[in-house]
Amino acid sequence: MSLGLAIPLFNEEGAVENVLHQTMFVLRQKNIPFFIATVNNGSKDQTGDIIDQIAKHNPEIIPIHFDQNQGYGGGILAGMRSLVPKEPSVIGWAWGDGQVSPEVLPKLYHASKNGAQMAKGKRIKRKDGLNRIVQSTVYNRAMRIMGTQTQDVNGCPKLFRVEAWKELDPLSRDWFLDAEIILQAEKLGWKIHQEPVTMEPRYYNRSKVHLGTALEFVKNILQWKLKN
């Protein structure tokens, strides 16, 4: 069994090297075979060059480059598509900003191997600032109104048994991807395993989440509710 992991990156030159090396170290230490699709999602800094340098010495790294940002969801889905031909038994994504430790990945991987269609992080401790905490609280309360039972809808990493992932047909190319996945998973009656994680401060760059993200999220919730 193996793991396919997509990591979206947008202007993360300060974080990408540590994120990739730490992730590879954790997976190798636990003897988990892996491929990592690193999605340079329209970065204007040195993110793409750093990815290519790391890939030269680590054949598990699959570099993907976009000249224009494809959106949060678009970047993730591009990475996921590139991993499917590698035939991993578990597939998913993690953030590229270094705010959640990759130490949780082996636990999520083994939960998936043992039958959970989805295994995800659940942020139980937040150090990432009041703005992000307020936005996440609003997101999760809105999802509760939609009828979801899963805590911390946006929590990451998210891993899936590959046959379960193929059941989904996510359409969101923006920040609604996480919510859409949870809504579909609960509708299908999936077993969702959660592991506690800490959300660390963002040391290298500003968060991409802002007021416009919240408005976009509300719009997508309303559209989903109308369609379903």
* Beta strand residue intervals within 42-153, DSSP E: 61-66, 90-93, 118-126
DSSP structural state of residue 176: T
CB 192 within 8 A of CB 164: no
Q: What is the mean pLDDT of residues 172-196?
A: 93
pLDDT at 149: 86
* 211 token code pair: 């007021």
pLDDT at 134: 67
Banded pLDDT at 131 (limits 50, 70, 90):
low
Q: 3-227 domain in CATH 3.40.980.10?
A: no
Q: What is the mean pLDDT of residues 52-78?
A: 97
The domains of the chain are located at 3-227
Residue 179, Cα to own-chain centre: how many angstroms? 12
pLDDT at 24: 98
DSSP-assigned beta bridge partners for residue 63: 38
pLDDT at 213: 64
DSSP-assigned beta bridge partners for residue 130: none
CB 38 within 8 A of CB 51: yes
pLDDT at 177 over 80: yes
CB 80 within 8 A of CB 173: no
pLDDT at 211 over 60: no
CB 14 within 8 A of CB 203: yes
DSSP structural state of residue 147: T
pLDDT at 129: 65
pTM, rounded to two decimals = 0.89
- d(Cα 146, Cα 140) in Å, to the nearest integer? 10
pLDDT at 204: 78
* More confident call, 217 vs 48: 48
**35-49, 58-72, 102-116, 171-185: least confidently modelled range:** 171-185
